[in-house]
C-alpha cells in the first residue's frame, strides 16, 4: 500500500511540475491564444470569428493599409459563444481596442472548440466553467491529470509558432477550375434556424463593447459566387434579418461581394487575395472610420 501511495504521489508531483512547465512554454509561443493569455496582443482592431474569420481578414494586410495594429482572434470552428469568452479574456488582459470586427457566420456554430481550449483553462475561469458545462468528461480528466490539457492540436501549434507569429495564417491557394466545373452548392441549412445561445453571446459582446466604448462592426464575409444560389441567398437574408431583429444591429453583408472565383480557396473560405479585396470594400463602406 505504501508503495502505491508513494507512486501516486510521485505521479501527481510529476504531473503538476510538467504541466507548469508546458504551460509556461505555451505562454511564450506566438500562437494567437498564447499571446492573448500572456497579455501580448495589444491592438487597435480585434477580429473574432471562425475559419471564415481566419481567412476573411488578414491582420498584416490591415496593419499595412491602415497603419493600425490588428489582431485576429478567430479560429477554425469557433462559435460565437466561445468568441465571446475569448474576447472577454482578451479585455481582461489588454486595453480596449478601438474596434472589434465580428464575422457572424459562427452564430449558429456549436461549442465543440472548448475541448481544444482546455490547453488554456489554467489561465481562464471562463474556460474552466464552460468546459465543465460543455465537455464534462474532458473537464474532469484534465482536473485529474493536468498533462491531459496538452493532448491537443493547439499544443502542436504552440510549438510550431514558438518563434513565428500565426497572424499570417490564411489560405494561400485558389479553388481549382476542375472543381468549379462540377460544383453544385449544398443548401446552407445551418443558417436556417435561430441559435439562441449564439445570439445571446453576440448581445453580450455588444454590451461589453458599449461599456468599454469599443466600436463593434458585424460582418458576413464573402462566399464563392457559385455557393450563393437563389435558395442560399434567401437563407442568408433571413439569417441576417434575424440577427438584426434580436440585436438591433445591422450586419455588413459581403456574402456576394467577390465575384471572381480566384479569390476563394473553397466555397465558404476566401484566400489571401480575397481578404485583400474584402479589406478594400470594408474601407470603402467606412467600417474602419473609428480608427481615426
Please provide the DSSP assignment of 46-63 as one string: EEE-SHHHHHH--HHHHH
> Which pLDDT tens digit goes with each residue over 7-57?
555 545 555 567 688 788 899 999 999 999 999 999 999 999 999 999 999
Domain of residue 196 covers 2-291
* Angle (CA) 285 212 222, round 5°: 30
Lowest mean pLDDT among 131-145, 189-203, 242-256, 274-288: 131-145
Report the pLDDT value the prediction gives residue 25, as an integer from 0 to 100. Answer: 87
> Once rounded to an integer, what is the mean pLDDT over residues 255-274?
98
pLDDT for the residue numbered 7: 52
CA–CA separation, 77 vs 121, rounded Å?
Answer: 18
Half-sphere exposure of 43 (CA within 13 A, CB side): 27
Separation CA 178–CA 261 (nearest Å): 12
Question: What is the per-residue pLDDT for 141?
Answer: 87
User: What confidence tens digit (pLDDT) does each residue in 179-233 have?
Assistant: 999 999 999 999 998 889 999 999 999 999 999 999 999 999 999 999 999 999 9
Neighbours of 46 (CB within 10 A): 28
Q: What cell numbers appear for 9 in the block? A: 504521489
Strand partners, 292: none
Average pLDDT over residues 163-180: 96
Task: State pTM to two decimals.
Answer: 0.93
Does residue 124 sit in helix, strand or coil? coil
Q: How far is CA 100 from the centre of its chain?
A: 12
How far is 185 from 229, CA to CA, in rounded Å?
Answer: 7
| Backbone torsions φ then ψ of 99, nearest 5 degrees | -145, 135
Average of pLDDT values for 146-151?
86
What's the confidence (pLDDT) of residue 11? 43
Q: Total domain count for the chain?
A: 1
Give the CATH number, domain containing residue 117. Answer: 3.40.50.1110
For residues 167, 279, 76, 24, the Cα torsion angle rounded to the nearest 10 degrees is 20
Instruction: Quote the DSSP letter at residue 94.
Output: S
- Sheet holding 252-253: strands in order across? 70-72, 45-48, 99-103, 215-220, 252-253
Q: What is the pLDDT of residues 79-123, one digit of tens each?
A: 999 999 999 999 999 999 999 999 999 999 999 899 999 999 999
Q: Over the range 256-271, which residues count as b (16 or more CB within 10 Å of their CB) and which as e? A: bbbeebebbbbbbbbb
| pLDDT, mean over the chain | 92
Amino acid at each position: 500500500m505504501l508503495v502505491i501511495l508513494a507512486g501516486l504521489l510521485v505521479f501527481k508531483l510529476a504531473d503538476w511540475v510538467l504541466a507548469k512547465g508546458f504551460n509556461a512554454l505555451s505562454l511564450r509561443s506566438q500562437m494567437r491564444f498564447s499571446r492573448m493569455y500572456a497579455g501580448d496582443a495589444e491592438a487597435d482592431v480585434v477580429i473574432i470569428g471562425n475559419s471564415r474569420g481566419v481567412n476573411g481578414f488578414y491582420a498584416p494586410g490591415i496593419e499595412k493599409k491602415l497603419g493600425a495594429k490588428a489582431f485576429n482572434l478567430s479560429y477554425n470552428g469557433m462559435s460565437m459563444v466561445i468568441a465571446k469568452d475569448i474576447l472577454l479574456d482578451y479585455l481582461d488582459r489588454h486595453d480596449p481596442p478601438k474596434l472589434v470586427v465580428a464575422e457572424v457566420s459562427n452564430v449558429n456554430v456549436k461549442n465543440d472548440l472548448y475541448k481544444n481550449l482546455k490547453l488554456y483553462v489554467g489561465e481562464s475561469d471562463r474556460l474552466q466553467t464552460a468546459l465543465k458545462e460543455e465537455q464534462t468528461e474532458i473537464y474532469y480528466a484534465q482536473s485529474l491529470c493536468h498533462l491531459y490539457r496538452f493532448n491537443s492540436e493547439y499544443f502542436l501549434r504552440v510549438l510550431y509558432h514558438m518563434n513565428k507569429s500565426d497572424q499570417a495564417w490564411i489560405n494561400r491557394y485558389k479553388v481549382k477550375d476542375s472543381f468549379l466545373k462540377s460544383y453544385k452548392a449544398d443548401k446552407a441549412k445551418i443558417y436556417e434556424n435561430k441559435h439562441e445561445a449564439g445570439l445571446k453571446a453576440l448581445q453580450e459582446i455588444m454590451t461589453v463593447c458599449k461599456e468599454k466604448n469599443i466600436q463593434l462592426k458585424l460582418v458576413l464575409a464573402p462566399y464563392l459566387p457559385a455557393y450563393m444560389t437563389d435558395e442560399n441567398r434567401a437563407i442568408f437574408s433571413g439569417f441576417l434579418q434575424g440577427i438584426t431583429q434580436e440585436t438591433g444591429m445591422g450586419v455588413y453583408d459581403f456574402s456576394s461581394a467577390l465575384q471572381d472565383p480566384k479569390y476563394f480557396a473553397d466555397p465558404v473560405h476566401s484566400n489571401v487575395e480575397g481578404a485583400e479585396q474584402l479589406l478594400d470594400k470594408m474601407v470603402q463602406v467606412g467600417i474602419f472610420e473609428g480608427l481615426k
